Structure 1
Amino acid sequence: MAGVSLRAPSPAGAPTERGIDRLLTRLGRAEAWRVRPAGKADAADDDGSELLRLVPASGTGRSAEAEAEAQAQTQAQGVVVSAALLRAARARDLVERCDRDSRALRLSQAGQARLRRISCGDDGFRGQHQHRGTRRQPGPDGSVALLAVDHGESPLAWLRNRKGPDGAALIDAARFEAGERLRADVTFGRIVPGLATQSWDGLGASGARRSAASGIADLSDAAVAARLRVERALAAVGPELAPVLVDVCCELKGLGDVEKVRRWPPRSAKVVLMMGLARLARHYGLMPPEDGRH
């Protein structure tokens, strides 16, 4: 970042917290940024403070598609920000230099947590410790609903959100979706049957009771169907691999805990998990059959 200093505070007015929040939101559009002096047309803000142009940094380990999307979102030429705001974010340790390239900047862990807090609104202080997203939940009528979930609680999501030496996620999309589908069926099959035992005495008219009873019966049927899907899936995986799938995907046990309980050597649980998820993904039709078998 020759010619661009991020150390000295700007004398052009104290940056506001809201301004820093807006800066973090813009920085969250890409994994890393390079700082360039702004052009003549936008060299100074309305209050006379210096402006800088941020350009998404290439070679950040993301796929070509992700890089292209980031470039499109920022219109390729980057975004213009206040140098004072960027210095303030650096002073608060919200922005840091990339380890692999000292000329590029990225959000620090503190900056990412603050950005999550911003995006979560009133629930922000809990949300900053979560990695929120969506998960597909099958409904009793065959429909699929998108549920808000904290992916930080899922060992599969932990693997999905981390990359190996080749830059690819530690678990591919097919295995991740297969594990989440199994988890959804197990969860649905466990929760819904409890509804069938509740008292309906306070529901009012007999018609309302019949309507409620019919609805709960439908849910119970759906729970039975979910259990059958789980049984078929685990049978397809086999008794050697199925217990690890249940522990990790459904009980949310960490790989280290699985190895400790079973007295397995380190990293062996991940190998078993990947094998089991591959069989599960093939059962769901998310991966091609082995050796071309149908």
Structure 2
Amino acid sequence: MNISRIGQTRSTSRRPVSVSVPTELGRDAARLLTALDAEGAYALADPLTEGDIIVRNGGDGISVSRGRYLAQAGQTLLSCDLAEQADGRRARLTISAAGRARLRRERAGRDTPYLAQHLDLEGRGEPSRPVRDTSESPLAWMARRRDRDGTPLIDAACFEAGERLRRDMTMGALMPRMGSDWSGVKVDGGGPRDPSAGSDAMLAARQRVRAALSAVGSDLSGLLIDLCGFVKGLEMIEAERRWPARSAKVVIRIALARLAEHYGLEREAVGPSQSRLRLWRDHA
């Protein structure tokens, strides 16, 4: 049994077809759309149960079942152009670009739904976690990029170390603003505030940044400021420093490794696999 296709009843004319996308999908169709959003996820007709489809996830090279859904849910997604399927009896049902854009709008909430449709936004709009486009982050690019042997350019510990430094620099207001600052409204008519007027969280973030850059060393601290603070890409860093091509990633790895060591972040968890269970009465 295969999912009945909308494409079988389409005309061979090349005229554009206007698709009516409902504002609210059914529960099964919404759950299926979310399941198909996973990396490498696809749906196939269930060979054992007629009228059902099975969703599998093969993004990491291992096919793992993600659940069973009604075939009608797949037809709903196809009719709304939220999913796509090639010809053939065993053709896979996958999420379309419109489906991913819909999920991004729903996850963004009421603040920036259509901005999130075109950008990869993260953050909660707070001083410590402002809303930003992760596709512009060189750290995120290096975490996704892989070498010839398949390993990422930076591991999870280095990525988290760079992100922690970026958050502290943002909270500490150490980077120049590109616009007006409306967060601190002055009612006394005085001039600019002195550094001692900052909040405790801001001062603590500045202390953490100072300690992290001191631990990394003066030879690599400027590189981390450009990478995590000014969000400069590898090509821009190489051009400004007149480094050879593809050499920035080697130095960045060393700098982020030192930063991760300062934060106490390890690539793998260390310690005994088991420990003796302790109770509060043991210390009485």
Q: For the superposition of Structure 1 and Structure 2, which TM-score range results when normalised by the shorter chain?
A: 0.5 to 0.7
Q: What are the residue-to-residue correspondences of 1:141-152 with 2, within 5 Å?
A: 149-152=132-135
TM-score, normalised relative to structure 1: 0.64
Change (3 A) 1:249 1:93: same
Correspondence 1:182 to 2:165: yes
Structure 1 residues 27-36 or 256-265, which shifts more? 27-36
Report if aligned partners of 2:174, 2:206 keep a CA contact under 8 Å in 1. no
TM-score by structure 2 length?
0.65
Q: For 2:199 and 2:153, locate their aligned partners in 1 and report how far apart those are by CA, in whole Å.
A: 37
Pair 52,87 (structure 1): closer, same or farther in 2 beyond 3 Å: farther
Following superposition, the deviation at residue 269 of structure 1 comes to 1.5
Over 3 Å counting, the alpha-carbon distance change for 1:28 and 1:270 in structure 2 is same
Deviations 1:7-36 (A, max 9, x none): 4249xxx98534497353342256312312
Displacement of 1:251: 0.7
- Preserved CA contact (<8 Å) 1:34 1:56: yes
Q: How many residues align?
A: 242
Q: Distance in 2 between matches of 1:155 and 1:277?
A: 13
Change (3 A) 1:30 1:189: closer
Q: 1:129-144 to 2 correspondence within 5 Å?
A: 129-134=118-123
Match of residue 57 from structure 2: 57
Distance 2:84 2:146 in 1: 21
- Give CA deviations for 1:44-84 in whole Å, capped at 9, x if unaligned: xxxxxxx44032133x227x8xx87xx5xx4xx43224243
In structure 2, the CA distance between the partners of 1:136 and 1:127, relative to structure 1 (3 Å rule), is closer
Work out whether residues 85 and 91 of structure 2, in 8 Å CA contact, stay in contact via their aligned partners in 1.
Answer: no
Contact 2:4–2:75, Cα closer than 8 Å, also in 1? no
3-state SS in 1 of match to 2:244: coil
* 8 Å CA contact retained: 2:82, 2:99: yes
Distance 1:111 1:271, change over 3 A: farther
Is the contact made by 2:3 and 2:75 (CA closer than 8 Å) also made in structure 1?
Answer: no
3-state SS, counterpart of residue 157 of structure 1: helix
Instruction: State the distance in 1 between where 2:124 and 2:152 align.
Output: 18
- Aligned counterpart in structure 2 of residue 85 of structure 1, from 76, 80, 103: 76
Does 2:152 correspond to 1:173?
Answer: no
**1:160 positional shift:** 3.0
Equivalent residue number for residue 201 of structure 1 = 188
Unaligned runs of 5+ in 2: 11-18, 176-180, 268-284
Mapped contact 1:32–1:57 kept (Cα < 8 A): yes
Q: Quote the residue 1:32 is aligned against.
A: 41
Query: CA separation in 1, counterparts of 2:125 and 2:249?
Result: 24
- Label 1:108 to 1:158 Cα distance change in 2 as closer, same or farther (>3 A): farther
Distance 1:136 1:84 in 2: 37
Distance (whole Å) between structure 1 residues aligned to residue 150 and residue 123 of structure 2: 24
Match of 1:283 in 2: 262
Q: Which amino acid aligns with 1:152?
A: S
The whole-number CA distance in structure 2 between the counterparts of 1:86 and 1:222 is 47
Give the partner amino acid of 1:55: V
1:56–1:78: 8 Å Cα contact kept in structure 2?
Answer: no
**2:213 counterpart of 1:230:** no
Question: What letter is aligned with 1:106?
Answer: T
Query: 1:162–1:54: structure 2 CA closer, same or farther, 3 Å change rule?
Result: farther
Two-structure CA RMSD over aligned residues (Å): 4.2
Other-structure match for 1:247: 226
Give 1:161 shift.
4.2
Stretches of structure 1 that go unaligned for 5 or more consecutive residues are 44-50, 140-144, 203-212, 289-294
Check 1:276–1:108 CA distance in 2 against 1; reply closer, same or farther (3 A cut). Answer: farther
Distance 1:264 1:53 in 2: 54
> Which residue is 1:128 aligned to?
117
Give the letter aligned to residue 155 of structure 1.
P
Distance 2:249 2:136 in 1: 17
**By how many angstroms is 1:276 displaced?**
0.6
